[in-house]
Each structure stands twice: as structure tokens, then as C-alpha cells.
Amino acid sequence: MATNNNKDGTSNGRLDKRTGKPIGKTARKSPAKKNASLKKTSTAKNKKASKAAKPPKKPLVKRLFYYGATAGVWAFMLGLVLLAVLSIDLPDLDNPPQPGAGDTAVIVKAANGATLVRSGPSYGDWIPYDETPPVLINAFLAVEDRHFFSHPGIDFRGLIRAVFANIAAGGVRAGGSTLTQQLAKNLFLTNQRTLKRKAQELLLAFWLEQKFTKRQILTLYLNRMYFGGGAYGIDAASRKYFGHSARELSIAESATIAGLVKAPSRYAPHINPEGAWKRAKIVLGTMSASGAITPEAAEKIKGQPPRIKQAAAGRNVRFYTDWLESRARSLLPGSRGVSLIIYSTLDPSVQRAAAMALNRGLSGEGKKKNAGEGAIVAIDHDGAVRAMVGGSDYAKTQYNRAVQALRQPGSAFKLFAYLAAMESGLTPSDRYTDRKVTVDGWSPKNYNGKFNGDMSAREAFARSINTIAVQISEKVGRPRVAAMAKRLGISTHVAPLASLPLGTEEVKLIDLASAYAAVANGGHLAPAYAIVEITLLEGEVLYRRTPHPPIAVLAYPTVKSMTEMLTSVVKWGSGKNAAIDRPAAGKSGATQNNRDAVFVGFTSDMTAAVWVGNDDNAPMQHVTGGGLPARIWADFMLEAHVGQPVRPLLADAGIYSAAASFRQSSTDGLRQKKKKKGFFERLFK
């Protein structure tokens, strides 16, 4: 059968006889449709080929194992590197340094050879675990590490609690260190707060837990920790604060020692007994909460603080010894880091009398009249400091008002105006008129606000008349008054003001004492000093004071007249409250606003200056130099002169007292501690 090829490329097959239409018509696709069809077929074939070439996916468990193993290998390698870095600067773990080995010791000796203060490391007996009072162990565990016997060196529960507490507080308020971590830090590390130091601490804590038993770790801890005052270990602390072995510690004493770890220098009982006992009460509360003692026992003991070895008067010697140590370091600038023995001029009995007199005055009359602070300095007539109390309580403040504070001396400064005038011809019998005086628009007033008319210079001085003092100062010249003050030892700035004789320029109390001592010794310079000799612990002399020939600063006739006038002050003038059972002379002084009050005076044996006031310059209630300070001065002088013969003033004029002269002290009794080898092996064989 014939077929037809049409123009469009279709092919005609057989024709239907009835209709005439082709049967089995086949149409050729267009080029575009043909290309699309080919592309689709090719893509399908490629997908099938790709699926056939890609390996089957591994199960999730196998993939996790693979990634975990890879991360573990890298972590192990990084851990080794970190361990190597942390171990580079670790000390010898088998021979840790002696506790306090880097500290320097300073031993201060009194004039009689007694030890006043020893700063630096001190050690007691090694107390084994079986000989340690159980109550002391319970106190430490209760306040420092309740889970000590169950954790592996790190208390994760405590650490988490500390983290949340610090976050809530917005800073570091709580710590999560265990006893083992504390021991690791104190044995091998420093107090530096860095991530590296903390990581090393954790590493060493694990090492200690592996090397020792819990009992051995606790024994090391109790015998190596620092408890303030230079005491390392519970026995040294017990002997320093309570005067007996740690084997005999009571519950109250144990709580006190356990409380010191938090801040040993701040809570040291010998300088801050109130703060130490406040902290100990917290320890007693934790002991009750942990079941170590009953709540009833805790409450009872809180009302029974232990007796501290040193009394309040003993604490106040620290004002003197702190000043002494700073003076020693200035004399020997290259002595930093060197242990020293300082031989001083202080007389313990005189020091005790000064501390007790000031305490009685401030706690009695001072409390009623708002006199919150005070200071006393007593010196020999050559300037040797025999006693110094720089404040009401060293535990509360270490600010030394005897040598650091600048205060107005009030009328006690009139000494210099009258001395300058006497050198110009003034005599005690010269007449002056107490009347209104105006200088450069300023008019001084007397304390009682009244004018008393005509009187002698002696009476004006004894009754502390301000108007006449200003008249005398103007007559002799203010520059000469200022120069007299500098000549006798006032080290602070003295401006030639019209108010200068009334003591408006601020001075140091110790300078004022030195100036009056220059009158007491017959007119010779008396600069205050406290150091006689400084040696190394081995006895090598580094400094020895060389006695200097007396330097005359006042003529004897002037001194004699001035002493008579100062005696009148005590006998019948403004300083009557300073009268004692022997000849005495002095001068009172106070500011008109009652912010400062002083009394400075002398006997044939020593000169003493007393100041009372407030650190914030708050006014006192009608306190004058002839009142509270004069009474404190008399109270002190009476006790300080017990057993001393009664002698007239100026009996040794021009001859320095030998009470504070150098006395050779033996160093044969000093013990030299031997170095210990195989520390851990010696302790735990």
C-alpha cells in the first residue's frame, strides 16, 4: 500500500477504506520537544549512576563513636600539653618550702631586754592527728569543709554553690575550696588569683589525695596553715594567743582558731579580740548546724569568750613598734627582706602606765564629753622615747596620733612666744594689761570671754591669757616666735601669723614633747629617738646610735625663768589638775572650738605630752587642756614614777638621763632552726 510523505514530516500508512484516514499515524516531534526529552532522560540516567556510585550511610551510633574518639584523642593530647605547662613551675613536691620561709622577722627589744614584739614566722610543736582535740577538728570541718572525708579533693557540690552565690552577689563572695585545696595552695603556691594558679591548685589537690590518707592531709593542714601574728600551725597559734599547747584547746579557743583561716591578719586575737570572737561565734553556729555541738552548748559558749594572752595595754605597744620598724627601715634602706633585732628605748612599765591612764581617761570622762581618741608620748630629757600610745585601741585603728596626726596645740604653743620674749629681755614680773587687742582686723578672746585688767607676765602665762600672749608676740616679732618653735624641734610648717602664739598652727605631739624636754633638761636640744641598736638575727651589728654632745639651744637663765612660770601653771594656774606628789611643770592648751585639748609637762625624770580629741574633728563638750588631758597626764605620771626618788626640777640640767643608754644584749639564746630534709617521708614513714 502506498504511503504519502507530507511536508510536515508525517508519514501516512494504510488508509481506512471507509473514512479514507490513515491508520497508525506516526508524528515526528519538534526539535525543542525532542531536546527536552533527551535532557530528561540523561538526568535520570545520571541520578541512577550517582546513586550507584555513593557508598551507603553509616549508622548514627558508629558516627558518634568516631567523632567522640577523635575528640577524645585531641582532648588527651591537649590535656598532656596543659599538664606539662602547669607542671613547669611547680616546686619540689617531695620537699615543700618551710611555711613563712619568705617572711622576714623583726624582733623589738625593750630597754630592759624584754621582747616587746616579734613579727615574722613562729612555729610550735607538731601535733599528730591522734593528739589533736576532736573539737578543734570538728570546728575546722564545720566551717571550712563539711564533706572533707567523702570528696576526692574537690567538693563539686560546694563549688557549684559558690559559683551561684558569686553570680547572685555580682562578684567573688564565696569560695568553694576544700581543705585539700587550701593545703595545696599554702604548701606549694601563692595567693595570686589567676586561672593558672587555680588549675595548679586542683591538680595538686588530686595529687595530695592520692599520696596521703585523709587523716594525714588534715594533720598537714592543721600544722602548716597560717593563723596570723606570724604563727604557723595550731600549736604556735595556741601558744601565741592563749599561752598553752594546742592539745589543751577548749571549744571557745578551738572556734577562735578555726575562724582565723578566713582572714588571719584581720582577725588575729592579739590585735583584734572583738573581731576574732565575732568570727568565732559564726564558727560555733556552723558547729551547731553540723551536729558537732548542741545548739544549747553553742549559745552558752558564745557568752564565754576565751582569755587572750595579751592584755589591752600590751596591744597598744604596737603603735610604738610599728613606728620603730619604719624608722629602722629608713635608717637601713637596704634592709628590706632582712630579719632584724631592734633594741629600743621603751620602758615596759612606763608604757603600761601610759596605756592604762589613757584608757581610763577616754572610757570614763572622755566618753561623757565626746572625747573619742587620745595619744600619749613620754620621753627622757635626752629625747629617748620611754612610752608611746598612739590611740584608744590599736585593734580598731593603727593610725598613730602621737607621730602622724597634725593637731592644733592651743595655748601650749605660748611656750615659744614667751621664750622668744625672754631672750629679748622679758621677765616674769613685767606688767601687761588684759584688754581688747586688734591685730590686722583680728581680735583674740580669752576662754571665758572676759578681760581681767593689769597682771604680771607670770600670771598671764599661768592663767593662759590670750590677749597678753598676742601682745608679747607682736612686741618681740612673729618671725622670732616661729623661729623659736623650729629651734626647739617643731618639724611642721610654722607661719608667722598673728594667731601663732595661740597655737593655731598644726604640730605633731612628739615634736611638742621634744620642745618641752629642751626646757626640762636645762636648754639642750632633745630630738625624739627610739632606736639604740639594730642587728641581724645572728648578732652582726648594722646600726648603733652614737651619743652626741648636748646641743645648747637656750641659755640657762631663760630656762630657769621659763621653768618657774611652767611650775606656776601646775601649782595655781590652768593646769592645777596635773599636780602630783613631786615637782612638776607644764602647760595646757585647747582650741576655742573644743576640737583639740593637750597638756605637756615634765618632772625631773621625764617629759610627757597628752592629746585628746576626735579623728573627724567633732567638738568635745567643754574639754580644755587643763581638764581631761591634765588629769590623764597626772594619772600616768603618778604610776610611771613609782619607786623614783623625788627630786627638784632642773636637778640634772645639762646632764642627759642614762635610763635609755645602750645596754649590750646577748644573742646567744637565739635559736637557729635547722633545715629539714625529706619532709613528707619524715612525717609519714
* pLDDT of the residue at 359: 95
Give the cell for residue 116.
Answer: 616587746
Given a cut of 90, is residue 171 above it in pLDDT? no
d(CA 136, CA 250): 8
d(CA 43, CA 14): 38
If you average pLDDT over every residue of the chain, what do you get? 82
CA distances (Å), origin 619, targets 368, 408, 500, 547, 633: 13, 13, 21, 43, 21
Give the cell for residue 75.
Answer: 582532648
Residues 601, 587 contacting (CB under 8 angstroms)? yes
Q: How many CA atoms lie within 13 A of 467 on its CB side?
A: 20
Given a cut of 60, is residue 9 above it in pLDDT? no
User: Please, what CATH class does the domain formed by 410-505 belong to?
Assistant: alpha beta
pLDDT digit string, tens, across residues 91-147: 555 555 666 655 678 889 999 998 888 877 778 889 999 999 999 999 999 988 888
- Average the pLDDT over each of 38-42, 294-298, 384-388 and give the range with the smallest value: 38-42
Given a cut of 80, is residue 63 above it in pLDDT? no
- CATH of 100-118+312-407+507-548+587-657, picked from 3.40.710.10, 1.10.3720.10, 3.30.465.10, 3.40.50.1100, is 3.40.710.10
> Rounded to the nearest 5 degrees, what angle is found at the Cα of 393, between the Cα atoms of 619 and 607?
80
Instruction: Mention every residue, 6+ apart, whose C-beta is less than 8 A from residue 421.
Output: 457, 472, 473, 475, 476
Measured N-to-C along each axis, helices 317-331 and 348-361 cross at an angle, to the nearest 10 degrees, of 130
* pLDDT of the residue at 146: 86
pLDDT digit string, tens, across residues 538-554: 889 999 998 888 899 99
Residues in the chain: 685
CA distances (Å), origin 490, targets 411, 417, 494: 15, 14, 8
d(CA 259, CA 282): 8
Enter the pTM of the model: 0.71
Q: What is the DSSP letter of 366?
A: I
Mean pLDDT of all residues in 517-527 = 95
Given a cut of 60, is residue 205 above it in pLDDT? yes
The string of DSSP codes covering 472-538 is HHHHH-HHHHHHHHHHTT--S-----TTGGGT-S-B-HHHHHHHHHHHHTTSB----B-EEEEEETT
Give residue for cell 622577722. 105
Given a cut of 90, is residue 80 above it in pLDDT? no
User: Comparing C-alpha atoms, which of 267, 336, 337 is closest to residue 308?
Assistant: 267
Given a cut of 70, is residue 378 above it in pLDDT? yes
The three-class DSSP label of residue 226 is: strand
Instruction: Mention every residue, 6+ apart, whose C-beta is less than 8 A from residue 420.
Output: 473, 476, 477, 480, 481, 483, 484
pLDDT digit string, tens, across residues 552-603: 999 999 999 999 999 999 999 999 999 999 999 999 999 988 899 999 999 9
**Residue of 223 and 656 predicted with greater confidence:** 223
The three-class DSSP label of residue 22 is: strand
Residues 123, 232 contacting (CB under 8 angstroms)? yes
The confidence band for 15, taking pLDDT boundaries of 50, 70 and 90, is low
Given a cut of 80, is residue 187 above it in pLDDT? no
d(CA 351, CA 404): 19
Give the cell for residue 43.
Answer: 538526568
CA distances (Å), origin 677, targets 24, 145, 187, 210: 114, 31, 15, 22
d(CA 151, CA 351): 52
Residues 501, 416 contacting (CB under 8 angstroms)? yes
Q: Is 587 exposed, middle or buried (0-12, 13-18, 19+ CB in 10 A)?
A: buried
For the chain, what are the domain ranges?
Answer: 100-118+312-407+507-548+587-657, 121-310, 410-505
The three-class DSSP label of residue 185 is: helix
User: Comparing C-alpha atoms, which of 639, 574, 630, 628 is closest to residue 365?
Assistant: 628
d(CA 68, CA 576): 93
- CATH of 121-310, picked from 3.40.50.410, 1.10.3810.10, 3.90.850.10, 1.20.1560.10, is 1.10.3810.10
The confidence band for 667, taking pLDDT boundaries of 50, 70 and 90, is very low
Indicate which residues carry an active-site annotation. Answer: 144, 411
Given a cut of 90, is residue 259 above it in pLDDT? yes
The confidence band for 186, taking pLDDT boundaries of 50, 70 and 90, is confident
* pLDDT of the residue at 62: 67
The three-class DSSP label of residue 633 is: helix
**Residue of 203 and 316 predicted with greater confidence:** 316
CA distances (Å), origin 483, targets 155, 406, 553: 70, 19, 12
Q: Do domains 100-118+312-407+507-548+587-657 and 410-505 have the same CATH topology?
A: yes
